[in-house]
Structure 1
Amino acid sequence: MNANALKYRLIGKPLRSSELQAQRYGVLWGLPVLSSDAISSVAYATEEILLVLVPVLGMAAYTPMLGVAGVIIGLLFMLILCYRQVIDAYPQGGGAYSVARENLGRIPSLIAASGLIIGYMLTIAVSSCSGAAAIVSAIPQVEPLRVPLIVLFILLLTVGNLRGLRESSKAFGLPTYFFVASMLAMIAIGAVKAALGQVEPAEQAAQLSQTTGDLTLFLFLHAFSSGCSALTGVEAISNSVPNFSDPSRRNAKVTLVALGLIVLCIFGGSCALAMLYHAAPADNLTVIAQIAAGVFGSDSIGFYLIQTTTALILLLAANTAYNGLPQLMSLLAQDSFLPKRFADKGSRLVYSHGIVFASTFAIVLVVAFNGDTHLLIPLYAAGVFLSFTLAQGGMVIHWRRKRCRSWMRKALINGAGAAVTALVFAIIVSSNFLAGAWISLLAIGCAAWAMNAIFHHYQNVKKALGLNDNERAKRLLLAEAPKARIIIPAYAINKPFIKTLNYARGLSDNIEVYHVKVSAQATRRFKADYQKLEISIPLVIEKAPYRNVNEVLLDHIDEKLGELEKHETLTIVIPQLVTKIWQMPLHNQTTLMLESALVGRRNVAMVTIPYLIDS
């Protein structure tokens, strides 16, 4: 099976560009694909809040937890209101990057984009690690295989997304709906049991301290910053508006509101059940697993259903990043901040390079942090809230410039969003700085610097290659075609040499055959064979007493470059054996080494004459 056949089997046959519209999704499939990150975050956001409160407050942690959850839900709806306006103003996608680019300038836009890129890669890593944690809760025996399991999940998601938008939306959409349905069922049954007085606290509740510390403002804010992981993923819909079917703007806004309602019900409900069942963080049993065990029983079908759907939604939450990040990287590439290849769609009409890039760095994060969700969470939200703040601040400037109908009301909404998200960003950084937020900030700064350097490179290339006008182009054209001097490096008289010689004779009459003498016997044989050809092309032989053939050849080329007259060029014509990949190390790669050495020299060209070996 050749490489193309394997590729088609994995990701499917190529799609025509005309099929792009059919690959887009509506609200039904756009909701699970782009909202799975935010929806799934309820599976660990409650636990992250309790992880901060329980060690200090013990049994008294649950009431403040509800307060933290209430503030987070309020912030969620503020963000939804703000991002509905972003969708209206920037239907081309890009979210925070597009807003900041137009209204705040290049550097703020790169900081916003860097925050989103880091956030998306962490989404893949955190979601995959959390999914593995849910599996370990149900099957503790797989704990030693946690990291390889996570890497396998990421690779499967990569292949699924490379198959195209429509295929990935259907394949990854159903588990999201199963998770929502199972969580709503658990919340409803748990509420009924609570009303009937049939609540049995989780086993972990017995380990909670009855004596409590003080609920300080810092403790509340620390818990709030940890729970803000529930808000990551909200921006993905505004980043991916072009992926929606028409009317894309309306479909994206409807999806955003649906996301808010689902998170309200599931996050609020799971926090309430955590309080009723006194679920607390434990090593091998998640808070959601404890709630499910309390509602359904630890060995019941309901318990395993919740664990299965939770694992699936957490794993597939990474799919949000696979839809948002490649789209964002495409815009950055179009604006010359990333390599141009990121702007190109692959054979299945998806941004293949962005998908592979996201997977590669997510796997690096998983391995570096040993697949531990709690170590990754502090890195998670800082970049996202930084981009939130820049997006909302940029929208205020946007409305002031446009001064459209109700612009003051819209600017006020986005201004409030900017102020609140800036405050949250400061809280997240201050409370999680030593725990890992500094890593995110450093990565954001490095990414922004790298993209700015790429931009300057492309600008320099454009300036160096560009023509100002037709007159300048005409001036650059020579009145007389340039004359070529040709050098043919040769070590033996054989079929590739004859083919190369025939090609060179068609280009110019000014040709020399150049041979480097390492072995006297080999050179005598070469000279005798060359004389048998009975041609008038001069043969130049130079010694290499130190066997440094390439250096001697390059010195000769430099000497000939110095002899060039006006309107003359030097062309090196050399044969190249074309073999199978595994056979390449068996041959001296002189052509590749020479090509690499000549790249930095002016007025010299290199032509390789391929010679296929049928073996």
Structure 2
Amino acid sequence: MFQKIKRIVLGRSLKSDELDHEKFSVLWGLPILSSDAISSVSYACEEILMVLIPVLGLASYRPLMGVAFAIICLLMILVFSYRQTISAYPQGGGSYIVASENLGKTAGLVAASSLAIDYVLTVAVSICAGTAAITSAFPSLLPYKTLIAFVMVSLLAIGNLRGMRESSILFGLPTYMFMISILIMIITGIIKVLVLKEIPPVSADLHQPMQDLTLVLFLKAFSSGCTALTGVEAVSDGIPNFKAPAQKNAKRVLTLLACIVFMIFVGVCFLATMYHVVPNENVTAIAQISSHVFGNDTLMFYIVQATTAIILTMAANTAFADLPLLFSILAKDGYVPRQFMARGSRLSFSNGIIMLFLLSASLVMIFHANTHHLMPLYAVGVFLSFTLSQAGMFVRWLKTKEGKWKHKAFINGLGTIITAITCMIIAASKFFHGAWIVLLCIPIFVFVMRKIHQHYEQVKRDLDITEINDSLIRKQPVPTRIILPVDSINRSFIKAVNYAYTLHCDNMEIYHVDVDAYATQKLQHKYGCLQLDIPLCCEQAPYRNINETLLHHIEEEAKHLLPQQTLTIIIPQFVVTHVQKNILHNQTSLLLKHKLSYMRNVSIISVPYVLHE
């Protein structure tokens, strides 16, 4: 039944050689890997105004464009820098690979931790912002916004578990619809004001400025607006997801991403200045602009709101495309569990997708799907990874001196300085609003990843064979010692005894722990009727501690083993066909096997007997 449901929800399993058909072209790679950056502009303008309006009031709109152009300048620097990263590191991995190779493993793990946190927050923030767009159009849904957000995260996870190709078509079309509808809104709004000379109303909530614009206020607004740049690194992280030529296609997508973000972000900010948008907790800035441009309850108003809600939801798909890939690289290096390397039935890194779903869904529930509560946690991690990536590339050019390395080093050096300053501004301005949580989590994640790596290295050393020769193999048979625990004479026990005889072992015993004299006498009588040539050993347990008594006996027997000799424990176990009834049986056997698994010279064999109900 489970397999049928899985096939219906996720689709048929794919062969490994079908992986190339699952990769992105430029047409579909753009919406999947750029949806985070493209959608961020829908709330970045609002975040800037939330800083400026309480202080500057009606005078907020002039510096708004200055902040917007400062962010666009930083975007261009990042795009030029990441184009160089794509050329130098075609295997993907982005900041983690660049920082690890050029700045050391610790820097790489810091970058990986920052990116992982950012991707989780990307899903949570994007989903919550998409939910806000829905409730802005339909206020009656406000009480259900947490539930709506959870359902949207679940649908995204299922869509990505179906595989890259299907998710690209499923999530790509809404991204293009958003771009078209927002561009129509920008063009229409500009024409109505500048050409048709329509005078927008001024909100009654606006007040006269309480103070002048200061550098600190400008930097605070700039740090809030930098959420528009989250997701820029996703293209360089996901190079392996592109069809050949992967590098060239990744560069094209990155260039298109920069052009689209420039047009939409500047356009939305310009409309916000013309229509005097005032941030409202229940109505987004985009909803206010589209209401002014198209009017309430018009078809275009609902189209803009619908596509905005969808693109904000789809923005989370960037994280679903990149975080599992990052985890697979970290797993390959031994810094996260190896299970994250495995591809699922649809050739996606399903364990990474499930992990991302669980973490992001938890954030949505904890913060009650409130975008503004999550936003202070956002952008710190991504700008830290930006800085480490730029610094890593700068060091690389200084070391290798490849090609026109001087101007490349200049671009990456400039990018390092600007992103580092931006990171410090964001961390300082949002520290007490929640950024401290991210700054605390990063070193914790680095510590945990190092511990995982130490464990894998220790396991590797323990299992490694330094010199392979014929002395490792037992060419002469070594006598084996077998113990078969018995509680009662039944069909399961008979099957275990018959199996034991197939091992042709002369050193075997049947062992029983005596906790009930009458039951033991009954067992001895039945055992005598079998006329076996295997001795029955009964040992009393006055405290009725069956497993402890048996384990003590096995430990004592293990002490007398010859070199390279193994003590084999055969455990009869019956299996119930109804899975839910298994909890009623075999608990003692499971605990026993768990304890025995820690004994190096002891082997465990389970002999199942299936009960047909």
Shorter-chain TM-score bucket reads over 0.9
Structure 2 counterparts to residues 330-479 of structure 1, below 5 A: 330-471=328-469, 474-479=470-475
Which residue number in structure 2 is paired with residue 513 of structure 1?
A: 510
CA contact (8 A) 1:201 1:276 kept: no
CA contact (8 A) 2:573 2:586 kept: no
- CA distance, structure 2, for counterparts of residue 566 and residue 90 of structure 1: 51
- CA distance, structure 1, for counterparts of residue 572 and residue 143 of structure 2: 54
Q: Does 1:531 align with 2:528?
A: yes
CA contact (8 A) 1:94 1:239 kept: yes
TM-score normalised over the length of structure 2? 0.98
- Report deviation, 1:297: 0.5
Moved more, 382-391 or 561-570: 561-570
- Report deviation, 1:341: 1.2
CA contact (8 A) 1:199 1:294 kept: no
- CA distance, structure 1, for counterparts of residue 330 and residue 566 of structure 2: 39
Which residue number in structure 2 is paired with residue 497 of structure 1?
A: 493
Which residue number in structure 2 is paired with residue 92 of structure 1?
A: 91
Which residue number in structure 1 is paired with residue 186 of structure 2?
A: 187
- Report deviation, 1:479: 4.7
Which residue number in structure 2 is paired with residue 40 of structure 1?
A: 39
- Report the CA distance shift for 1:515/1:401 in structure 2 as closer, same or farther (over 3 A): same
Moved more, 313-322 or 480-489: 480-489
Moved more, 189-198 or 178-187: 189-198
Which residue number in structure 2 is paired with residue 157 of structure 1?
A: 156
Which residue number in structure 2 is paired with residue 197 of structure 1?
A: 197
Q: Deviations over 1:287-336 (max 9, x none)?
A: 11000000000121111111100000000100000111111111111111
CA contact (8 A) 1:59 1:212 kept: no
CA contact (8 A) 1:487 1:512 kept: yes
- Matched residue SS, 2:480: strand
How many residue pairs match? The answer is 610
Question: Which of 476, 479, 483 does residue 480 from structure 1 map onto?
Answer: 476
- CA distance, structure 2, for counterparts of residue 106 and residue 208 of structure 1: 51
Structure 2 counterparts to residues 244-323 of structure 1, below 5 A: 244-323=242-321
Aligned AA (1:433):
F
- Report deviation, 1:200: 2.4
Aligned AA (2:476):
E
Q: Deviations over 1:17-70 (max 9, x none)?
A: 111111111111000000000000011101111111111111111111111111
- Matched residue SS, 1:272: helix
- Matched residue SS, 1:602: coil
Which residue number in structure 1 is paired with residue 587 of structure 2?
A: 589
Q: Deviations over 1:543-601 (max 9, x none)?
A: 22222111111111112122323332211101122223200122241221011111222
- CA distance, structure 1, for counterparts of residue 320 and residue 35 of structure 2: 11
- Report deviation, 1:129: 0.3
Moved more, 122-131 or 294-303: 294-303
Which residue number in structure 1 is paired with residue 565 of structure 2?
A: 568
- CA distance, structure 2, for counterparts of residue 519 and residue 311 of structure 1: 69
Aligned AA (2:117):
I
- Report deviation, 1:344: 1.4
Q: Does 1:173 align with 2:169?
A: no
- Matched residue SS, 2:281: coil
Q: Does 1:547 align with 2:558?
A: no
- CA distance, structure 1, for counterparts of residue 377 and residue 315 of structure 2: 17
Which residue number in structure 2 is paired with residue 598 of structure 1?
A: 596
- Report deviation, 1:184: 0.2
CA contact (8 A) 1:201 1:294 kept: no
Ranges in structure 2 where 5+ consecutive residues have no aligned partner: none
- CA distance, structure 1, for counterparts of residue 236 and residue 209 of structure 2: 46
CA contact (8 A) 1:389 1:418 kept: yes
Q: Deviations over 1:323-379 (max 9, x none)?
A: 111111111111111111111111111111111111110011111212111111111
- CA distance, structure 2, for counterparts of residue 351 and residue 565 of structure 1: 46
Q: Deviations over 1:182-223 (max 9, x none)?
A: 000000000000112214236xx2111124323121111111
- Matched residue SS, 1:283: coil
Question: Which of 573, 598, 607 does residue 609 from structure 1 map onto?
Answer: 607
Which residue number in structure 1 is paired with residue 2 of structure 2?
A: 3
Moved more, 559-568 or 596-605: 559-568
- Matched residue SS, 1:113: helix
CA contact (8 A) 2:489 2:527 kept: yes
- CA distance, structure 1, for counterparts of residue 471 and residue 211 of structure 2: 82
- CA distance, structure 2, for counterparts of residue 280 and residue 611 of structure 1: 72
- Report deviation, 1:106: 0.8
- CA distance, structure 2, for counterparts of residue 149 and residue 575 of structure 1: 50
- CA distance, structure 1, for counterparts of residue 495 and residue 541 of structure 2: 26
- Matched residue SS, 1:551: helix
Q: Deviations over 1:426-483 (max 9, x none)?
A: 1010101111111111111111111111111111111110112324xx3333453332
CA contact (8 A) 1:37 1:123 kept: yes
- CA distance, structure 1, for counterparts of residue 573 and residue 221 of structure 2: 65
Moved more, 602-611 or 29-38: 602-611
Aligned AA (2:362):
V
- CA distance, structure 2, for counterparts of residue 567 and residue 436 of structure 1: 59
CA contact (8 A) 2:574 2:586 kept: no
- CA distance, structure 1, for counterparts of residue 212 and residue 520 of structure 2: 91
TM-score normalised over the length of structure 1? 0.98
Identical amino acids, percent of aligned pairs: 50
CA contact (8 A) 1:591 1:608 kept: no
- CA distance, structure 2, for counterparts of residue 330 and residue 569 of structure 1: 38
- Matched residue SS, 1:234: coil
CA contact (8 A) 1:60 1:212 kept: no
- Matched residue SS, 1:207: coil
Aligned AA (1:493):
I
